[in-house]
């Protein structure tokens, strides 16, 4: 039998936020079995087949597609039923929306497997797949116990059963993939078998008592400073993990490294989950934390960044070209981008297992940009329901300014697909555990005897406000009041297991929740109970798998009232367990499962009266209604199992990779890398565009004046004698002199390289004074013609270039007139003179061909001679800056020394190597190099320097 992923009472989680002192959470309460007559010591492990130490069993997973002639997960089809595959139908889709349409038509028109089900490498030859799949999840599927020099204790980890089942399938011989699982070790504890009592000193019984000074504190026993894990023990763990089935690669998150002894020192292990579970989990479930001074959030953000960076390092150690990387859940939302920064053409999928909130709520997150940028490093992003995917796309547009649609987001020069993949469960394994274990039958018998003649409503949730346990009890109380005929006939069995999520920092949230639930249960029992009858049985504990499945099988109604949830697998396990009883399922509409289980009775958990009515309806439902509802639910759960979910996601990912050219994607700037290279370099060159790079684009060009922060940041940067800082702009000399001329260390270049002013000089050099400029009058005449016809447009006349602006005109009409004007100029002036017509952001510019920013960039690099700069940072936002990027690509500078960065939310394809979203990001990066780490930069500082800056500015 496949070992269950449901927790046993012995396997208590070692990573609770702190030991609770609440009496209801005391082991004397939580260790009491739900079923009378079965003590913890009497529990028997279900019969397990070989390889049984895994929390999932690859050999017993439902067969998946296999390479070659090993067979297929799908039933065979006759040759006459042949239809074009979904891969073939999707090929050549010009847009994301068209791709979704073709795939939808394909899935509806045929159930026949295509080549991707049998051999993904043959189905997508252009991707050069290796056949390897690397899954990144927050923690390995074990709780680890450590004893120096001995084998590691490995116990099944609680939660995420569906995800572990997916890994089980991928690790099995039924899957076409060579699978590797990468995860954190989790909080490592001392092995139970080796915990020794402190050695007591031997006392001479004849000796006199030692005098005790009451003013002097009693000596405290010295505790070891953390857990120290040597190289041999680390290698032993990796061998054990691989020996237990499937390749699992641990990620070590350590506080210190003792280089002399080659030991990892583990101290504050829970710090690595703090940001994800306190900040992200909270906001993703539509909750907010109490206001704080920001210091704790700053530190936890740095840890979150470092953790994701260490995951990226570990994955790249085992990565080979053609591998697929699959990243799971909110703890690793920065990982896709961190991988993309290192390998721009890597294949990455990301799946979020929890909800994603609306933009109005998500925008409350302080690091909202960084999280979205991190996820957008993936090629495809999957969600549990359509509303979550829609919210994500909306946030990318509202927060980052990227274009988005139902098909995905256009970001960083590529299309990032966004799609919906409701996860399932391993229905075969669930059926086997629920119906084939004799212990389950014994528990069912005892529960029936205990609640003879009563209708049973069963709920099982974690101790978390988003699970809606309080609302469930309040609704049940209203049900008993509203329908008195059910009093003393219905029992609600509510099992509430302690939460593994540190959702708050030390404010007794869990205790408050327990108090509220206990008070409600006591109130209901006091009002509607008697000496012989208790309407609410609340068990705040973990369940053994036998008790869990026994309750699901014997229940008359399943009740799930989560107020915000991802994919609630309990609802699907309930459906499978009810294949004989056909009990109705009442399911919150706010659960991610609601969209999939349309046959359930959907309720709004905040509408207590509505929930009470639903309970009454479920209890009175006729046999035919129960049978019809269960048939629909059961058919869906069995056919849309976790193996199907895994296959569907990977097939859609490969189809998107084949349909869209990802080679032009430009990753987000790696701030840790740029800071590291900056610190190492002795000679540094900076080249900045002005409009759209240092300052935002505005409708009136004269209003684009630099802020005080921009001026101070540039002054600080230019004051370092190792730095040569240049502003290379399309602006004229007068503007640059007025706003930048008072910083003597700055070099200035006006009108796209027509004029130069060296640092520490007031003189401008005209690089075009010997050129024929007679073309200008003809261009002015053309520009004036279109200015007269386009309200809101105007001409900017510089000494060399001429620019026609239409920022203030109607956007659509202005763009139309610009195209007409450009065509006019290219047919006339551009053919007579050596000039080029350039399109900018709401402008047209005509300039000599020999004048461009690329020539200035080339000249500045060549001025260094043989002693080339060791660090070059070049930033610009539009097509005129592509000349600089092109020039740097053609130079002989080492690529690791050059950081060419395009700025803006445009999804344009660029010659730059990196991307920043807006001018404020540019100033943030320059401030980082100046030594000022704002909240968004503390992660990069922590990675490079090994510590977290204390200031919170």
Active site (catalytic) residues: 689
Q: With contact defined as beta carbons under 8 Å apart, do 917 and 369 qualify?
A: yes
Q: Are 1 and 46 in contact (CB under 8 A)?
A: yes
Q: How far, in Å, CA of 300 to CA of 306, rounded?
A: 10
692 within 8 A of 702, measured Cβ to Cβ:
no
Q: What is the Cα–Cα distance from 758 to 470, expressed in whole angstroms? A: 70
Q: Which residues pair with 588 in a beta bridge?
A: 603
Round to whole Å and give the CA distance between 503 and 427: 31
Distance from C-alpha of 566 to C-alpha of 265, rounded to nearest angstrom? 35
Give the residue from 943, 949, 936, 930 showing the smallest Cα distance to 684: 930
Say if strands 835-840 and 843-848 run parallel, antiparallel, or are unpaired. antiparallel
For 6, the 3-state DSSP assignment is coil
Element holding 516 (H helix, E strand): helix 509-528
Two structure tokens written together for 949: 């800056």
Q: Are strands 380-383 and 835-840 parallel, antiparallel or unpaired?
A: unpaired
Q: Torsion-angle region of residue 51: left (phi > 0), alpha (psi -120 to 50) or beta?
A: left
DSSP H helical ranges for 274-426 = 274, 281-284, 295-318, 335-342, 359-362, 368-375, 386-395
Q: How does DSSP classify residue 49?
A: -
Closest CA to 480 of 540, 520, 538: 520
User: What is the Cα Rg of the chain in Å?
Assistant: 33
- How many CB atoms sit inside 10 A of residue 893's CB? 18
What is the distance between the alpha carbons of residues 196 and 215, in angstroms, rounded to a whole number?
Answer: 31
| Contact of 236 with 151, CB cutoff 8 Å | yes
Cα separation, 587 vs 557, in Å, equals 11
CA dihedral over 332, 337, 340, 345, signed as positive or negative: positive
Q: Listing from the earlier edge strand, what are the strands of the sheet with 898-903?
A: 765-766, 755-757, 746-750, 723-728, 684-688, 871-876, 898-903, 914-916
d(CA 284, CA 501): 13
The tokens describing 116, both together, are 């991707």
Structure token pair of residue 245: 């089935």
HSE-CB at 274 with a 13 A cutoff on CA atoms is 18
* Per-residue buried b or exposed e for 270-307, using 16+ beta carbons within 10 Å of the residue's own CB: ebbbbbbbbbbbbbbbebebeeeeeebbbbbbbbbbbb
Specify the 3-state DSSP secondary structure of 471.
helix
CB 395 within 8 A of CB 372: yes
Distance CA 824, CA 819 (A): 9
**Which residues on adjacent β-strands are paired with residue 847?**
836
* C-beta neighbour count of 708 within 10 angstroms: 7
Query: Mind spelling out the 3-state secondary structure of 704-733?
Result: CCCCHHHHHHHHHHHHCCCEEEEEECCCCH
Q: How far apart are CA 668 and CA 881, in angstroms?
A: 18
Taking a C-beta distance cutoff of 8 angstroms, is the pair 513, 540 a contact?
no
The number of beta carbons lying within 10 Å of the beta carbon of residue 619 is 18
Surface-to-core class of residue 508, CB atoms within 10 Å of its CB (0-12 exposed, 13-18 middle, 19+ buried): middle
């Amino acid at each position: 039998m496949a070992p269950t992923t449901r927790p046993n009472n012995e396997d208590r989680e070692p990573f609770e936020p702190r030991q609770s002192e609440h009496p209801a959470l005391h082991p004397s309460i939580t260790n009491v079995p739900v079923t009378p007559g079965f003590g913890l010591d009497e529990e028997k492990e279900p019969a397990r087949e070989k390889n049984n130490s895994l929390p999932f069993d690859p050999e017993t997973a439902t067969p998946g597609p296999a390479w070659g002639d090993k067979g297929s997960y799908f039933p065979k089809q006759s040759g006459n039923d042949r239809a074009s595959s979904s891969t073939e139908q999707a090929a050549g889709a010009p847009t994301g929306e068209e791709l979704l349409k073709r795939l939808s038509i394909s899935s509806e028109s045929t159930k026949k497997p295509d080549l991707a089900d049998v051999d993904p490498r043959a189905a997508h030859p252009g991707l050069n797949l290796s056949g390897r799949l690397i899954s990144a999840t927050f923690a390995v599927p074990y709780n680890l116990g450590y004893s120096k020099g001995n084998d590691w204790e490995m116990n099944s980890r609680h939660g995420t059963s569906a995800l572990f089942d997916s890994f089980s399938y991928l690790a099995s011989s039924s899957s076409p993939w060579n699978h590797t699982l990468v995860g954190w070790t989790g909080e490592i504890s001392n092995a139970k078998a080796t915990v020794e009592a402190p050695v007591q000193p031997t006392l001479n019984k004849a000796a006199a008592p030692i005098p005790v000074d009451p003013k002097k504190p009693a000596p405290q026993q010295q505790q070891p400073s953390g857990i120290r894990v040597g190289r041999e023990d680390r290698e032993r763990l990796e061998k054990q993990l691989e020996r237990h089935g499937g390749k699992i690669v641990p990620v070590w998150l350590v506080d210190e490294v003792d280089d002399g002894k080659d030991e990892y020192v583990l101290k504050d292990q829970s710090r690595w989950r703090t940001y994800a579970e306190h900040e992200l989990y909270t906001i993703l479930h539509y909750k907010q934390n109490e206001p704080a001074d920001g210091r704790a959030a700053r530190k936890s953000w740095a840890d979150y960044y470092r953790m994701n960076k260490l995951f990226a390092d570990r994955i790249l150690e085992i990565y080979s070209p053609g591998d697929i990387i699959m990243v799971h859940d909110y703890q690793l939302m920065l990982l896709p981008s961190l991988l993309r920064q290192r390998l721009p053409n890597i294949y990455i999928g990301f799946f979020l297992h929890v909800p994603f909130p609306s933009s109005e709520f998500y925008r409350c997150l302080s690091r909202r940009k960084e999280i979205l940028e991190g996820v957008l490093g993936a090629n495809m992003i999957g969600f549990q329901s359509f509303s979550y995917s829609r919210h994500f796309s909306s946030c990318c547009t509202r927060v980052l300014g990227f274009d988005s649609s139902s098909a995905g987001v256009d970001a960083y020069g590529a299309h990032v697909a966004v799609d919906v993949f409701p996860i399932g469960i391993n229905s075969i394994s669930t059926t086997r555990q629920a119906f084939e274990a004799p212990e389950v039958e014994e528990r069912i018998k005892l529960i029936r005897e205990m609640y003879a003649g009563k209708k049973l409503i069963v709920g099982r949730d974690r101790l978390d406000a988003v699970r809606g346990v309080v609302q469930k009890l309040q609704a049940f109380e209203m049900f008993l009041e509203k329908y008195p005929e059910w009093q003393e006939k219905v029992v609600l069995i509510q099992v509430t297991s302690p939460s593994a999520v540190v959702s708050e920092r030390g404010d007794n949230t869990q205790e408050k929740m327990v108090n509220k639930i206990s008070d409600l249960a006591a109130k209901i029992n006091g009002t509607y109970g008697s000496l012989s009858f208790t309407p609410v049985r609340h068990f705040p504990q973990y369940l053994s798998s036998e008790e869990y499945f026994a309750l699901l099988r014997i229940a008359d109604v399943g009740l799930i009232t989560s107020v915000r949830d991802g994919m609630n697998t309990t609802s699907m396990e309930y459906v499978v367990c009810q294949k004989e009883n056909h009990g109705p399922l009442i399911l919150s509409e706010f659960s991610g499962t609601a969209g999939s289980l349309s046959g359930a009775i959907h309720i709004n958990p905040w509408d207590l009266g509505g929930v009470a009515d639903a309970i009454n309806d479920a209890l009175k439902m006729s046999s035919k209604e129960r049978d019809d509802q269960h048939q629909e639910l059961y058919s869906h759960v069995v056919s849309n199992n976790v193996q199907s979910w895994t296959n569907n996601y990977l097939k859609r990912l490969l189809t998107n990779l084949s349909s869209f050219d990802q080679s032009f994607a430009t990753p987000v700037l790696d701030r840790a890398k740029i800071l590291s290279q900056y610190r190492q370099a002795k000679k540094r060159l900076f080249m900045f565009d002005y409009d759209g790079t240092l300052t935002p684009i505005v409708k009136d060009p004269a209003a684009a004046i630099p802020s005080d922060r921009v001026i101070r940041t540039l002054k600080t940067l230019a004051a370092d004698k190792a730095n040569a800082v240049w502003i290379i702009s399309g602006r004229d000399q007068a503007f640059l002199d007025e706003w930048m001329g008072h910083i003597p260390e700055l070099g200035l270049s006006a009108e796209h390289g027509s004029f130069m002013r060296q640092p520490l000089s007031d003189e401008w050099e005209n690089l075009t004074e010997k050129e024929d400029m007679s073309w200008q009058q003809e261009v002015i005449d053309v520009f004036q013609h279109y200015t007269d016809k386009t309200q809101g447009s105007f001409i900017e006349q510089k000494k060399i270039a001429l620019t026609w602006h239409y920022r203030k005109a109607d956007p659509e009409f202005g763009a139309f007139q610009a195209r007409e004007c450009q065509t006019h100029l290219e047919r006339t002036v551009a053919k007579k003179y050596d000039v080029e017509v350039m399109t900018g952001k709401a402008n047209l510019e005509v300039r000599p061909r020999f004048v461009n920013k690329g020539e200035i960039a080339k000249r500045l690099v060549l001025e260094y001679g043989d002693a080339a700069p060791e660090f070059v940072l070049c930033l610009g936002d539009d097509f005129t800056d592509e000349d600089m990027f092109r020039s740097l690509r053609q130079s002989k500078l080492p690529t690791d020394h050059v950081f060419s960065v395009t700025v803006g939310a445009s999804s344009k394809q660029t010659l730059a190597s990196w991307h920043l979203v807006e001018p404020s990001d540019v100033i943030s990066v320059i401030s980082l190099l100046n030594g000022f780490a704002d909240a968004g930069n503390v992660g990069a500082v922590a990675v490079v320097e090994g510590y977290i800056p204390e200031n919170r500015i």
